[in-house]
Amino acid sequence: MGRVSPRANPRIGVRAAVVLVISILPLLVSATLMDLPAPVQITLNGHVRFLPQGTTLGELIRERDLHPRSGRLLDVEGHVLRYRADPGRILLNGSPARRTTPLANGDAIQVVNGVDRTEGTRTVVTRLNGLRPGNPQFTLDTSRVEEVRVEGRVSGIVVSVRFRPIGPSTRPPAVALTFDDGPWPGSTLQILRILERMHVRATFFVVGYLAQRYPGIVRAELKAGMTIGNHSWDHPNSPPFDQLAPARIRMEMARTSRFLHRRFGIRVTLFRPPGGSFGGPVVTTASGLGLRIVQWNVDPKDWIASRNARTIADAVLSNVRPGSIVDLHDGGGDQSATVQALPRIIRGIRKMGLRLVAIGDQTGP
């Protein structure tokens, strides 16, 4: 019988193959890595990134989905005029670059969002015809007047309006008595009777909700030939009128004017802001509604409870001059002292040789 050859152990063969692969693999990987170019180190919005050599700016933008946010053009009230007014930029080392530009070590890429901006403004100056009172009006003086209007350069929205006197002014030998915060039961009608008896025309700045509550008193004022002005709907005091939201300011003016027109058929052109607060958007809003701001330059503070008739009359007569506008009150509380002082005030003004007129009326007894 011949000799039998021993059978090969398959486990030994597998182990040998594994050892061989393990030995050769590092050499293969090393050789492969030696063949690859080194990556490019850049910064993207301040963060370090590694990219394959030859990567272009455009490829980076596509791979990273880089899109700057667009900036909008806003009107002077904050509404959008144009959405992509500033599309933003992608900068390479602080400057715009072609998207085909290869990126190199140390390059800095920055995505710069567009910036919202508000439209510019322009100033339009218009010389108005004839002689006019100021706006705001503090006296009966009249002069040539320029309207200075600031508006959005794109939208044309009015930002502000002011009226600037130019040249010499004319001052009439007259005084205007004005009454605020009515109509008021009792005191308004008492004042009306005195004015009618003494043949005086005056101006009543009425509060809208009170005119709605006491329409008969407003009719009595109109029947007596008095001028009616707008004194807001609710007479807000706190915060000051000129610090209210623009929409509230407009509502206070517009609602009162609309009510007076619908209920009594009159179109008011005069507005006295509560507390005389006329800064901010008050003049602009009033002008847009066809109203002129009327203030005063003589204030006896007759609304203070401690004032008596003599104190009120003395305060008026010691300060009144040709062209004065006097601020009195027919409502808002107990005005009995004002009622008592009124005849003396009227006689004292006439002794100075001055007429008594309503606002806008240059004739009067």
What would the DSSP string read from start to end of 215-265? Answer: HHHHHHHHHTT-EEEE--SS---SS-GGGS-HHHHHHHHHHHHHHHHHHH-
| CA-based nearest residue to 79, from 30, 152, 129 | 152
Question: Residue 230 is encoded by which pair of tokens?
Answer: 């707008």
Asked whether residue 177 falls in the same domain as residue 80, the answer is no
Whole-angstrom distance, CA of residue 74 vs CA of residue 143: 38
CB neighbour list of residue 245: distance below 8 Å, 6 or more residues apart: none
Asked whether residue 179 falls in the same domain as residue 114, the answer is no
- Does the annotation count 180 as an active-site position? yes
Beta bridge partners of 228: 204
> Which domain does 87 fall in, by range?
40-118
Read off the DSSP letter of residue 46.
T
* Averaged pLDDT for residues 168-174: 95
Among residues 78, 102, 118, the one where a domain terminates is 118
Asked whether residue 206 falls in the same domain as residue 318, the answer is yes
Q: Reply yes or no on whether the pLDDT at 27 is more than 80.
A: no
The pTM score is 0.75
Q: How many residues are listed for the chain in this entry?
A: 365
Among residues 80, 95, 118, the one where a domain terminates is 118
The pLDDT of residue 26 is 59
Question: Residue 259 is encoded by which pair of tokens?
Answer: 């009510």
Structural domain count, the chain: 2
Whole-angstrom distance, CA of residue 242 vs CA of residue 232: 12
Asked whether residue 266 falls in the same domain as residue 193, the answer is yes
* List 107, 180, 242, 330, catalytic entry: 180
The pLDDT of residue 9 is 57
pLDDT-derived band of residue 169, with 50, 70 and 90 as boundaries?
very high
Residue 349 lies in a domain: yes
CATH number at residue 315: 3.20.20.370
List of long-range contacts for 87-96, beta carbons under 8 Å, 24+ apart: 87/114, 88/112, 88/113, 88/114, 90/57, 90/61, 90/66, 92/57
For residue 204, the SS3 value is strand
* List 107, 231, 235, 329, catalytic entry: 329
* Residue with token string 């309207």: 147
Residue 276 lies in a domain: yes
pLDDT-derived band of residue 339, with 50, 70 and 90 as boundaries?
very high
Q: Reply yes or no on whether the pLDDT at 5 is more than 90.
A: no
Residue 159 lies in a domain: no
The pLDDT of residue 360 is 80
- Does the annotation count 299 as an active-site position? no
162/258: higher pLDDT: 258
Name the phi and psi angles at 178, rounded to 5.
Answer: -125, 150
Residue 2 lies in a domain: no
Q: Reply yes or no on whether the pLDDT at 326 is more than 90.
A: yes
Beta bridge partners of 112: 89
Asked whether residue 206 falls in the same domain as residue 337, the answer is yes
CA angle 16, 17, 18 (to 5 degrees): 95
CATH number at residue 73: 3.10.20.30
